[in-house]
Amino acid sequence: MPISAGTRLGPYEIVASLGAGGMGEVYRARDARLGRDVALKVLPEVFAKDAERMARFEREAQVLASLNHPNIAALYGLEESGGVRALVMELVEGPTLAERIEDGPIPIDEALPIARQIAEALEAAHEKGIIHRDLKPSNVKVKADGAVKVLDFGLAKALEDDPASSDVRNSPTLSLAATRAGVILGTAAYMPPEQAKGKPVDRRADIWAFGVVLFEMLTGQQLFAGETAGDTLAAVIKDEPKWDRLPESTPPAIRKLLRRCLDRDPRRRLRDIGEARLVIEDVMAGAPAEEPSPRPRVSASPRLAVSWVVAGALLISTLVLAFLYFGETPPAERVMRYSVPAPEKASIHSFAISPDGRYLAIAATAQGKRYLWVRALDALQPQLLPGTEEAANPFWSPDSRWIGFFAQGKLKKIAVSGGPAQTLCDAAAGRGGAWNRDGVILFAPSPTGPLFRVSAVGGVPVQVAKAEGGGTHRNPVFLPDGRRFLYQVTGGTADKAGVHVASLDGVAPRRVLADISNVAYAPPAARGANLLTCSWSAKTP
């Protein structure tokens, strides 16, 4: 029976109903002792009156209360008052993931951060031996700031059968103690085949459900559906996922991950949700696609093998003679000069060439507005990247697939192929950035410095180097090891200004050049000095 607003359960006053699910009615309540709002999940009467079940549940709740993770809604305790028993839980504002999916497919750049946080929540729980058993979009909340909270962790283990529901996505969360074989536990549309058959499950059940949830985020459609829970269970057991529903833009690594998560054979299924998190983080950081597997060797006949040996010996002899003849006099060094014009009717603010030498990222102002443009060096016209208003000081990912830049008080990144720009963190007026192979971005968030580091997938920036002698830090450049970096110090005392070298490992910075110009690095194979300076013509404060 619903509880009206104003009713008190111990120190908690009911404020409003938040809805109902397979595990009970949920209410917003005010905690009079701590002065905070909480969520009260009132357990169905059939549960509350079962002494054995409640004793088991209380033991389980103690384990669940030990989960302390930013992506898991906290369980505060169990409250009993007037014969009513309720779980006291963290109140999470925001829509459920199910509500987001109802609006249609979630773009890949939004879906992956959500999936990564779900994976982090599952990983933290699995490390404590806790399985969710009922992961589904309606048990995931997405807050206004993009933070994800997974709800109802592990509760299915302690609760019993629920009445049927007409909505399969919220169909009965049939629960069962682990010792009772042959009874289904979980929600029909999201349980793995072995669970649908009533067999025992382990954390690979959560991995299957994770794959279903990610598939539905990307497609906006339910993966397994039927008119009844039985029909849905049959689809889970027999139907192959419709892989052609995935958007064409879905990265190959994500397609492969989905196939691993949704393998019907639990022995072949992905075994650790942490591996899923790593795949997602690599894709978000712009990691290059996996190299194709080498072709298997084909054995040749003895006569053909001898022919190849003779041909190889002749080739080696020819190369040796050529080296002896031509190697003594290296060809004259060629000097190449060319110019790259600004986009039409635009003035260049800042630019950066990609590590593979194929592209030029240009921040240019046209008609009073500054945008980011990308120009392939084998093309004549640059292409404007939408969504990059106020872009400045671009820099590249090591694989040349992403461009980092500063805009609208934020550090952002965008794929060179286009698509929505992703915000990584705050940067009031960025003055240069660098990106290493480990997915670390080093940047100066303001003209006054100092330098900070942040993950290429976003997060909280951490200060790396502190300005000394009153100077400011700008324009970092990673050295080949990806740990040490060069940067420019301007202003302050004369003995501090110039080019400095420091390390992400906390090694004390030292000055290597008194020149206060910007700095670049040329590998040892390049001719000339390894440390190069250049004057900067763009007028920036």
Are 455 and 462 in contact by the 8 Å Cβ rule? The answer is no
Helix, strand, coil % (nearest 5) of the chain?
A: 25, 25, 50
φ, ψ for residue 469, nearest 5 deg: 65, 25
Buried b (16+ CB within 10 A) or exposed e, 337-362: eeeeebbeebebbbbbbbeeeebbbb
Integer Cα distance of 227 and 225 in angstroms: 7
Are 236 and 188 in contact by the 8 Å Cβ rule? The answer is yes
Q: Where are the alpha helices (DSSP H) in 463-530?
A: none
Are 392 and 349 in contact by the 8 Å Cβ rule? The answer is yes
Structure tokens at 175: 């629960």
φ, ψ for residue 517, nearest 5 deg: -70, 170
Using omega within 30 degrees of 0 as the cis cutoff, is the peptide bond preceding 70 cis? no
Integer Cα distance of 397 and 355 in angstroms: 8
Are 393 and 403 in contact by the 8 Å Cβ rule? The answer is no
Catalytic residue among 134, 152, 263, 282: 134
3-state secondary structure of 464: strand
Among 186, 250, 188, which residue's Cα sits nearest to residue 215?
250
Angle between helices 273-284 and 108-127 (to 10 degrees): 150
Are 245 and 187 in contact by the 8 Å Cβ rule? The answer is no
Among 410, 403, 374, 372, which residue's Cα sits nearest to residue 388?
372
Known active-site residue 134: yes
φ, ψ for residue 462, nearest 5 deg: -125, 130
Integer Cα distance of 360 and 86 in angstroms: 60
Structure tokens at 250: 């879905």
Contacts of 303 by beta carbon, 8 Å cutoff, 6+ apart: none
| Amino acid making up residue 155 | L
Are 312 and 342 in contact by the 8 Å Cβ rule? The answer is no
Integer Cα distance of 499 and 532 in angstroms: 11
| Amino acid making up residue 177 | A
Q: Considering only CA atoms, give the Rg of the chain.
A: 30
Are 210 and 273 in contact by the 8 Å Cβ rule? The answer is yes
Active-site residues: which are they? 134
